[in-house]
Amino acid sequence: MGGPPKSIYTDAEGAITSNKTKNWLAEQKIVSNITLKHAPLAEAMIKFVKNRVEFVRNHRKPGKKILGWEELAEQEVKDYNENHVPRAIGMTPLEADKPENKESVKMRLELQRRNRNPQPKLKVGDTVRTLRKKKNFEKGYVADYSASTYKLMDVIQTPPSNQTQYVLDTKEGDKDFKYFKDNKFTRNELTLAKQCKYYMRNLTCNIYSLSTGRSSSSSSSSSSCF
């Protein structure tokens, strides 16, 4: 397929997050970006290639040599890269990868980008919570984000795609520490922790006494977090 990739983008699947795989990728100088959510583009591409392979296997001409799954997958990926023109970029992936076309592709993608993002921007010093990867059969009411909060230490651009990542002060031993993340998270894996302000408020309540028929006042305090 043209050699090893410069980077991979995957979900937190056990085979990818293992120390053995992590060390091997580092030796091969392959950047591993692991998301705590799904990797929708990668999964869509895998589904496309699998469907194409199964179609070719089920509709081969009688007497034609039967290729292995790996050979068919490489054949379909090659055909996709050379001949398929996605609407998003308006050219084949191989053409889009040429240095002279990168600015044109970037401009086309920027024009189609959706800017309606309700999430507040994060800056160094903010306090955030990290997304939790729920366990099997875990109840739906269990929080999606960590109970612990962390300080945002830095905002970096990771090569080779210059993806924006946020560096937190998580430490090994923390309940929500994830060794495979290297303290680096993407925006959709973080939520800004709300600052709680407790205040005291005197409430004057007129209580009608059935026994005396008189009203009395009492004060109570309450706290609120917003």
pLDDT(102) > 50: yes
Predicted confidence at residue 33, as pLDDT, reads 84
Q: To the nearest 10°, report the CA torsion of 90, 92, 93, 95.
A: -100
Whole-number percent of the chain with pLDDT over 90: 19
Give tens-digit pLDDT for 129-147: 998 877 777 777 778 888 8
**91 confidence band (pLDDT: 50, 70, 90):** very high
Confidence category of residue 68, pLDDT binned at 50, 70, 90: confident
> pLDDT tens digit string along 43-53?
888 899 999 99
pLDDT in the model for residue 66: 76
Give the CA distances from residue 32 to residues 44, 107, 160, in Å, rounded to whole numbers and listed in that order. 19, 26, 11
The mean per-residue pLDDT over the stretch 57-75 comes to: 82
Tokens of 28: 């091969």
Inter-residue contact 34 to 16 (CB < 8 Å): yes
Radius of gyration of the chain (CA): 27
pLDDT reported for residue 79: 92
Sheet holding 184-185, edge to edge: 184-185, 163-168, 150-158, 127-130, 190-192
Is-contact 170 190, C-beta < 8 A?
A: no
Q: What is the pTM of this model?
A: 0.59
Per-residue pLDDT averaged across 153-171, rounded?
A: 86
Of residues 99, 105, 86, the one with CA closest to residue 45: 86
Contact 80, 56 (CB under 8 A): no
Nearest to 32 by CA among 176, 165, 196, 170: 165
Rounded mean pLDDT, 4-24: 85
Instruction: Flag whether pLDDT at 219 surpasses 50.
Output: no
